[in-house]
Chains A and B, each alone.
Chain A
Amino acid sequence: MGHWQAENARLAFPVLTWVLCESNLKETKMKKPVLLLSALLTSVWLSATSSAWAQSKEQFVPVLSYRTGPYAPNGTPWANGFVDYLKLVNTKGGINGVKIAYEECETGYDTARSVECYERLKSKNPSFVQTLSTGATFAITEKAPGDKIPVLTIGYGRSESSDGAVFKWNFPIAGTYWVAADTILQAIAKKEGGWDKLKGKKIALVYHDSPFGKEPIPLIQERSRNHGFELQLLPVTPPGVEQKATWLQVRQSKPDYVVLWGWGVMNSTAIKEAQATGYAREKMYGVWWAGAEPDVKDVAEGAKGYNAITIQHGAEPNSDIVKTMLTQIHGKGQGTGPKEEVGQVLYLRGVMSAMIGIEGIRSAQERFGKGKVMTGEQVRWGLENLNLTQAKLDALGFKGVMRPISTSCMDHMGAAWTRVHTWNGKAWEFTSDWMQADEQILKPLVKATADKYAAEKKLTRRTGQDCQS
């Protein structure tokens, strides 16, 4: 469809509307609603058609975030961290001179709205898209290959998408849900004194009844078969406001450990109900989306002893990157959110997510031309050949916060490092060493699930030749 046709058509429509309005409708009662309706249609038309011609010399990054709705308390700090890091990159002159242009789009954690945001921002040549919602990830995974936009899902999304040979455009860098589940079980096993000590124990999974919550189940079931512990599945209907029945069941069955897999209000409610039914918070382990300040600060002392797994970083108020943020961004009044948030868990996750995306673009520039604007396809190559050594990470300000990430054609995850942190009533403290997910368990599961997806979609596994592009 040619641009000239559309350009003329754009103007024809409002003219037509004006003509229709001004003629014949002298009746005041009719005129108002009709005028309103035609103004509405015209504006939609103009704004919808104008977005297609945005040419820019800047690298565009869409920010799909949710700052309203039931998950806003968790989504807002993430978005603030993400945008703050993009601002930081711009203050340093961009990526080899190419500045970042970004636009936020409110999704409200709703899949249909996320898809609408994606479609709207698609025309601006986005470098990558971060969906921040498992539902939206599934939907956009279907569309992204056709649109040639890489989908960056740091710490969420489809666990099997770490298999880059099948999922060419998905990048669950730094960790997936199976990594989280595996390392939680490792931490529990360590506490018990070894995997063999888990035999005969009972572990309950209190999970958000959605694809997000159901993700870890295959892996935990695999482990329970191997090591002989009993798994009790307790789904919580979203948004998880009433959990009395769930925790009464926990009280009855007396599991040795509870793994909490929630998001949003479900987490704080779960901890409050745990307190109300007298279940020891020390025996609770949450996924990294259930281990942040909004989940525990309400409960404060009542959540003392609650553990959560982290995706590399935790709450790092003393790290270099946080200090840089406070001086360079918040110190100059450019901060997106409140200053107190800087250094908190979800804020840092947003920063880390933005950093990985930016480094992917930088890596793409190494091959395709420094100082040039990268297309989605080029950024995809960049994300697939990401080599963040410890030296590079330290230089960026992530010393002690992150460990090296190195992606490849076959492995789109790049790293599987986690730690456990515990809430001490006022702040999160690290209570374990670095752990890595067990490849023996993870690899076959990923391959099997990815193969199933490939068979369903009639895709063939990528091989050496395709990997070079």
Chain B
Amino acid sequence: MGFFLETLLGGLMAGMLYSLVALGFVLIFKASGVFNFAQGAMVLFAALAMARFSEWLSASGVGSAWMVNVIAFAMAAVVMFAVAWLIERLVLRQLVNQEGTTLLMATLGITYFLEGLGQSLFGSDIYKIDIGMPKEPVMAFESVFEGGILINQEDLIAALIAAVLVAALSLFFQKTGTGRALRAVADDHQAAQSIGIPLNRIWVIVWCVAGVVALVAGMIWGSKLGVQFSLATVALRALPVVILGGLTSVPGAIIGGLIIGVGEKLSEVFLGPYVGGGIEIWFAYVLALLFLLVRPQGLFGEKIIDRV
């Protein structure tokens, strides 16, 4: 029983980490209708930027480790804003009104470009992001369960950061003028344009926000795993979350993340040994698929209405 709870908890926290990445997908799709396959590359690029900046800053002797991290984060955020602006300018503006598949392929092209650019600007070694996360585990409920329940402190803090981020984003969308404009654009581009909302600027803002989300995700994953090329493959782990929760729903990304995280870990730990192990990746996708068969637009996604 204790082990089951441990796995469940681990799954929930892994799920939160996936939803951090999934949030980026959802934000961009919501506002501009583009399925941003480059989100993984953006996470990698942002993490590389922050890791290298903090390395260079501490090498040039700037204050405490805390200051270094804050400044590096700010610098990386500026870099991501620049990336977002360039993508909107050079790619999205030229591809207005194209089909979904064309935009999808364009973002795949951006993926390759960002991967190459990130590695040539920042290097292809493993880099460290040290935001002071505790690495040792904590055992809870040692009296109730034998051996206690393992709680990974780093994951817990990451989950909290994700929750704070989602709360901030919700506030942003609900309470601020820009947030309202974003929701208007997500609802109907033409109507939003007709009331004077500047589409191009909105798209830049959305991609910037997605870039910051990617930076936070990159920072957390980078702190966990070290910043190197495989970080971009985290996006492939987050895709089932996106489709399970619905492409247009922020709460969907969270709920979807929790479901996928738990499903993955439980299946790997309890079903895996019977089939030899290594099933968590495809199990997540099959799980999302099963949910889709019941609700083809994801749990919280917008219903796809076809007019003939």
8 Å CB contact of B125 from A73, A209, A237, A302: A73
Interface pair B124/A73, CB less than 8 Å apart: yes
Would you list which residues of chain A between 256 and 277 have a CB under 8 Å from chain B?
Answer: 264-265, 268-269, 272, 275-277
8 Å CB contact of A72 from B229, B231, B265: B229
8 Å CB contact of A248 from B125, B226, B265: B265
Interface centre among A209, A234, A236, A248 (most CB of B within 10 A): A248
Closest to A240 in B: B230
8 Å CB contact of B277 from A69, A76, A235: A235
**Would you call B178 an interface residue if the criterion is a C-beta within 8 Å of the partner chain's C-beta atoms?**
no
Would you list which residues of chain A between 274 and 303 have a CB under 8 Å from chain B?
Answer: 275-278, 294, 298, 302
Interface pair A251/B150, CB less than 8 Å apart: yes
Q: Which residues of B contact A294 (CB under 8 A)?
A: 125-126
Interface pair A298/B3, CB less than 8 Å apart: no
0/1 interface trace, chain B 210-230, chain A, CB 8 Å (1 if under): 000000000000001110111
B243 to chain A minimum Cβ distance, whole angstroms, is 19
Interface centre among A234, A241, A244, A277 (most CB of B within 10 A): A244
**Would you call A48 an interface residue if the criterion is a C-beta within 8 Å of the partner chain's C-beta atoms?**
no
Given contacts A72-B125, A265-B228, A265-B230, contact A237 B281 (CB under 8 A): yes
**Would you call A68 an interface residue if the criterion is a C-beta within 8 Å of the partner chain's C-beta atoms?**
yes
Q: Tally chain B residues at the interface, Cβ within 8 Å.
A: 38
8 Å CB contact of A272 from B119, B224, B276, B280: B224
Interface pair B272/A245, CB less than 8 Å apart: yes
**C-alpha gap A233/B10 in the complex (Å):** 21
8 Å CB contact of B119 from A68, A244, A265: A68
Closest to A251 in B: B150
Q: Tally chain A residues at the interface, Cβ within 8 Å.
A: 36
Interface pair A268/B226, CB less than 8 Å apart: yes
0/1 interface trace, chain B 181-203, chain A, CB 8 Å (1 if under): 00000000000000000000000
B137 to chain A minimum Cβ distance, whole angstroms, is 5
0/1 interface trace, chain B 260-291, chain A, CB 8 Å (1 if under): 00001100110011001110110000000000
Q: Which residues of B contact A246 (CB under 8 A)?
A: 268, 277
Interface pair A241/B265, CB less than 8 Å apart: no
Q: Which residues of A contact B126 (CB under 8 A)?
A: 73, 265, 268, 294, 298
**C-alpha gap A249/B150 in the complex (Å):** 12
**C-alpha gap A209/B272 in the complex (Å):** 14
Interface pair B231/A241, CB less than 8 Å apart: yes
Interface pair A278/B277, CB less than 8 Å apart: no
Would you list which residues of chain A between 383 and 415 have a CB under 8 Å from chain B?
Answer: none
**C-alpha gap A119/B226 in the complex (Å):** 35
Interface pair A245/B233, CB less than 8 Å apart: no
Interface pair A242/B277, CB less than 8 Å apart: no
**C-alpha gap A302/B136 in the complex (Å):** 9
Would you list which residues of chain B between 115 and 133 have a CB under 8 Å from chain A?
Answer: 119, 124-126, 128
Q: Which residues of A contact B277 (CB under 8 A)?
A: 233-235, 246
Given contacts A209-B278, A276-B137, contact A244 B225 (CB under 8 A): no
Q: Which residues of A contact B233 (CB under 8 A)?
A: 70, 239, 241
Interface pair B280/A245, CB less than 8 Å apart: yes
Interface pair A72/B137, CB less than 8 Å apart: no
8 Å CB contact of A67 from B124, B225, B273, B278: B124
Q: Which residues of A contact B180 (CB under 8 A)?
A: none
**Would you call A469 an interface residue if the criterion is a C-beta within 8 Å of the partner chain's C-beta atoms?**
no
**C-alpha gap A68/B137 in the complex (Å):** 34
Q: Which residues of A contact B228 (CB under 8 A)?
A: 70, 72-73, 265
**Would you call A252 an interface residue if the criterion is a C-beta within 8 Å of the partner chain's C-beta atoms?**
yes
Interface pair B230/A70, CB less than 8 Å apart: yes
Q: Which residues of B contact A275 (CB under 8 A)?
A: 135-137
Would you list which residues of chain A between 295 and 352 have a CB under 8 Å from chain B?
Answer: 298, 302
**C-alpha gap A69/B152 in the complex (Å):** 29
B305 to chain A minimum Cβ distance, whole angstroms, is 37
**C-alpha gap A235/B126 in the complex (Å):** 23
Q: Which residues of B contact A67 (CB under 8 A)?
A: 124
Q: Which residues of B contact A272 (CB under 8 A)?
A: 135, 224-226
**C-alpha gap A294/B123 in the complex (Å):** 14
**C-alpha gap A72/B278 in the complex (Å):** 24
**C-alpha gap A239/B3 in the complex (Å):** 26
**C-alpha gap A421/B213 in the complex (Å):** 42
Closest to B125 in A: A73
Closest to A264 in B: B230
Interface pair A235/B276, CB less than 8 Å apart: yes
Given contacts A68-B119, A235-B276, A244-B10, contact A268 B225 (CB under 8 A): yes
Interface pair A276/B154, CB less than 8 Å apart: yes
Given contacts A72-B125, A237-B281, A268-B126, contact A276 B152 (CB under 8 A): yes
**Would you call B54 an interface residue if the criterion is a C-beta within 8 Å of the partner chain's C-beta atoms?**
no
**Would you call B6 an interface residue if the criterion is a C-beta within 8 Å of the partner chain's C-beta atoms?**
yes
Interface pair B278/A68, CB less than 8 Å apart: no
**C-alpha gap A251/B9 in the complex (Å):** 14
**Would you call B30 an interface residue if the criterion is a C-beta within 8 Å of the partner chain's C-beta atoms?**
no
**C-alpha gap A298/B265 in the complex (Å):** 26
Interface pair B150/A242, CB less than 8 Å apart: no
Given contacts A73-B124, A302-B135, contact A248 B269 (CB under 8 A): yes
Top 9 nearest A-B pairs (CB, nearest first) are: A245-B268, A72-B124, A235-B278, A239-B230, A70-B230, A298-B226, A70-B229, A265-B230, A73-B126
Q: What are 10 A-to-B residue pairs whose CB atoms are below 8 Å?
A: A68-B124, A73-B125, A237-B278, A242-B280, A246-B268, A248-B10, A264-B230, A265-B226, A265-B229, A277-B150
- Taking A69-B124, A241-B225 as given, write out 13 further A-B residue pairs in contact, using a Cβ cutoff of 8 Å, ordered by the A residue number: A76-B124, A237-B280, A239-B230, A241-B230, A245-B10, A245-B264, A246-B277, A248-B269, A249-B272, A265-B225, A269-B226, A272-B225, A298-B126
